[in-house]
């Protein structure tokens, strides 16, 4: 006697695909629940790893270099150069030697004889300072009376004497020399200027004066009164 078996929805496959594979659905649900519980324990608000992560996130970080247009980190701007020392207030002096100033010069006049129809005098400017100085050119020379009024006219310039037109360097105690020339009284029939009391001199390049009352017998006659350039020795 044979039996016929029917496959319907109430047969062996009633348990569904999971039962067919031998893995009931309840096993997967339990495993998933255990995994979530473990994750909540590790990541929960009281977990040590969560505290460490929070501390790490609060730690300061160094800023990253800003990329330039070429994709390389931007180089820092160069620092400003150190300030340079200020320039000295006084200008440099030619050759490193100053021009002789009147407060460091002494004036004297020495008779230097007579030749032909002229009389000569050695005008000396002596360096009384502690440093060397230079003189260049002609001094300005005038005569004053006892009241300080000029006698006659200032001396005109000539090239008499030992000066060659160059600068004269005076060490302390040294003198520059200029030749003063006038006509002899005898050749002018006595036509001479009134007697002077003071010799007034502008050293070369200066607007200040030095004076002396010792005229060494200088008397200007014949309206001839001349001075040469300074030199380094007496005429």
- Find the largest Cα–Cα distance for the chain: 195
Nearest to 153 by CA among 138, 165, 140, 164: 140
pTM here is 0.59
| ∠ CA 123-222-118, rounded to 5° | 50
Query: For 50-66, how does the pLDDT look when each residue is reduced to its tens digit (9 = 90+)?
Result: 343 344 344 444 444 44
Query: For 3-53, how does the pLDDT look when each residue is reduced to its tens digit (9 = 90+)?
Result: 444 444 444 444 444 444 444 454 445 454 554 444 444 444 444 443 433
pLDDT range class, residue 231, cuts 50, 70, 90: very high
Kindly report the number of other CB atoms within 10 A of residue 203's CB atom: 25
Q: How far apart are CA 178 and CA 216, in angstroms?
A: 15
| ∠ CA 124-182-117, rounded to 5° | 125
pLDDT range class, residue 189, cuts 50, 70, 90: confident
Q: How far apart are CA 173 and CA 179, in angstroms?
A: 20
């Amino acid at each position: 006697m044979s039996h016929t078996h029917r496959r319907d929805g109430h047969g062996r496959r009633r348990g569904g695909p999971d039962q067919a594979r031998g893995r009931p659905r309840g096993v997967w649900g339990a495993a998933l629940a255990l995994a979530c519980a473990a994750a909540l324990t590790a990541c929960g608000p009281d977990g040590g790893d969560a505290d460490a992560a929070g501390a790490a996130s609060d730690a300061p970080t160094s800023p990253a270099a800003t990329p330039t247009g070429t994709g390389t980190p931007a180089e820092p701007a160069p620092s400003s150069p150190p300030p340079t020392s200020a320039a000295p207030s006084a200008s440099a002096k030619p050759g490193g030697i100053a021009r002789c100033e009147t407060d460091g010069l002494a004036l004297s006049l020495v008779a230097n004889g007579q030749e032909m129809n002229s009389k000569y005098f050695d005008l000396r400017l002596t360096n009384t300072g502690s440093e060397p100085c230079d003189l260049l050119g002609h001094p300005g020379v005038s005569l004053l009376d006892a009241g300080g009024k000029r006698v006659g006219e200032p001396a005109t310039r000539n090239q008499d004497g030992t000066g060659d037109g160059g600068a004269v360097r005076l060490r302390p105690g040294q003198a520059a020399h200029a030749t003063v020339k006038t006509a002899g009284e005898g050749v002018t029939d006595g036509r001479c200027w009134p007697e002077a009391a003071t010799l007034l001199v502008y050293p070369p390049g200066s607007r200040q004066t030095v004076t002396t009352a010792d005229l060494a017998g200088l008397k200007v006659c014949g309206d001839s009164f001349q001075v040469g350039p300074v030199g380094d020795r007496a005429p």
